[in-house]
Copies of this chain bind each other. A is one copy, B any other.
Amino acid sequence: MPVGTKGTVKGLTPGDLREVGAGIVLGNTYHLYLRPGSDLIKEAGGLHAFMGWHGPILTDSGGYQVFSLAQTRRISEEGVEFASVYDGSRHVFTPELTTRVQEDLGSDVAVVLDECPPADAGREYHEESLRRTARWARRCKEAHGRRDQALFGIVQGGLYPGLREESLGLTVEIGFDGYAVGGLSVGESREEMLETLALTAPMLPAEKPRYFMGIGDPVGILKVIALGVDMFDSVLPTRLARHGAALTQDGRINLKNARYRTDFGQLDPECACEACAGYSRAYLAHLVRENELLGHRLVTLHNVHFSVDLCLKARREIEAGRYEEWSRAWIARYESTDRAGTDKLE
């Protein structure tokens, strides 16, 4: 899911998103609640109408942003009080409020309010937190009234297998339309993340969508798919683009590196997106160096196309029963030629 934090996938129109094959877009409840306000978006006819994207939208609950962005926050049984990242104003997110806000936004998939503690918060804290998150999840479900909107629960529990199992049991007991695995990609190692996911995913109901929150690098995507994940989101493809880094079959390249100044080849020789079809690496490198809007736009378009296309390929390989060997070969090629290390971001 490309991330449209503030009601826009940075630099792209809904038409661009359709063209790159995006099937769903994520909106951040935290940001949209504060700017321009979910009341305004409701008045506009909902987020689809407001941003002109008529495909599916998933909104998160804002929990992750409250815990990652807010300088000062206070958690209680009632909810979480925080200071706006925009103007420092005080707000309280309760399960009831974030549910109503997402109903106002009118997304196709809403997500329960959860606490997302750092990986190293300690077992005792994680235990207390996951139980509160489960109580919040129940309140979200009770508050949720829109029949045309799915509601997803979130499994927490840090890196503790026992706590993951407990959180999963409590969440599945409440019963949701889909399940997110939260609290990963928050400071732990990639190995710890995959191990924890490998323990958690098989226990999730097989017939419900599984959403892994916050992964966007190509290798990571293929690895979580292998563990049974159906959905994921990350700002990585769009954020990399704004720094001049492009994802290709042969690894990540940084267009600010001097080698691309005179490289008249195609950004990704195997890609058919508008950026690859119409421009050279040298031109894109020039735009990126000069901080030109068109550079951000075209590299973003490419990175989102690349990521969506990778997922479409993965789906085809799964259907053909070849996923394991295909993904192993894909990762081997990508990693053998990846320049993320040598093409340093300037």
Contacts and interface: CB of A to CB of B under 8 A. Distances in A.
A28 to B, nearest CB: 12
Interface string A35-64: 110001001100000111000000000000
Interface in A262-319: 262, 264, 274, 278-280, 282-283, 286-287, 289-290, 292-298, 300
Contact of A293 (B11, B50, B279, B282): B11
A12 B43 CA distance: 31
Residue among A11, A12, A298 with max Cβ neighbours from chain B (10 Å) = A11
B36 A286 contact: yes
Nearest to A49: B280
A89 B68 CA distance: 44
B294 A10 contact: yes
Nearest to A52: B278
A205 B188 CA distance: 74
Counting every copy of the chain, the complex holds 2
B36 A282 contact: yes
Contacts of A292: 6, 8, 10
Nearest to A16: B294
B10 A283 contact: no
A261 interface: yes
A294 B264 contact: no
Contact of A51 (B35, B51, B283): B283
B7 A283 contact: yes
A236 B58 CA distance: 39
Nearest to A35: B290
B8 A287 contact: yes
Interface in A16-44: 35-36, 40, 43-44
A286 B13 contact: no
A279 B51 CA distance: 7
A293 B35 contact: no
A14 interface: yes
A43 B7 contact: no
Contacts of A44: 264, 280, 282-283
Given A6-B286, A51-B283, A261 B293 contact: no
A13 B209 CA distance: 38
B262 A40 contact: yes
19 contacts: A6-B290, A6-B292, A7-B283, A10-B293, A11-B294, A13-B278, A13-B297, A13-B298, A35-B286, A35-B289, A36-B261, A40-B261, A40-B262, A40-B282, A43-B264, A44-B283, A50-B282, A293-B293, A297-B297
Given A10-B294, A13-B297, 20 more contacts: A6-B286, A6-B292, A7-B286, A8-B292, A11-B297, A13-B274, A13-B294, A13-B298, A14-B278, A35-B286, A35-B290, A36-B289, A40-B261, A43-B264, A44-B264, A44-B280, A44-B282, A52-B279, A293-B296, A293-B297
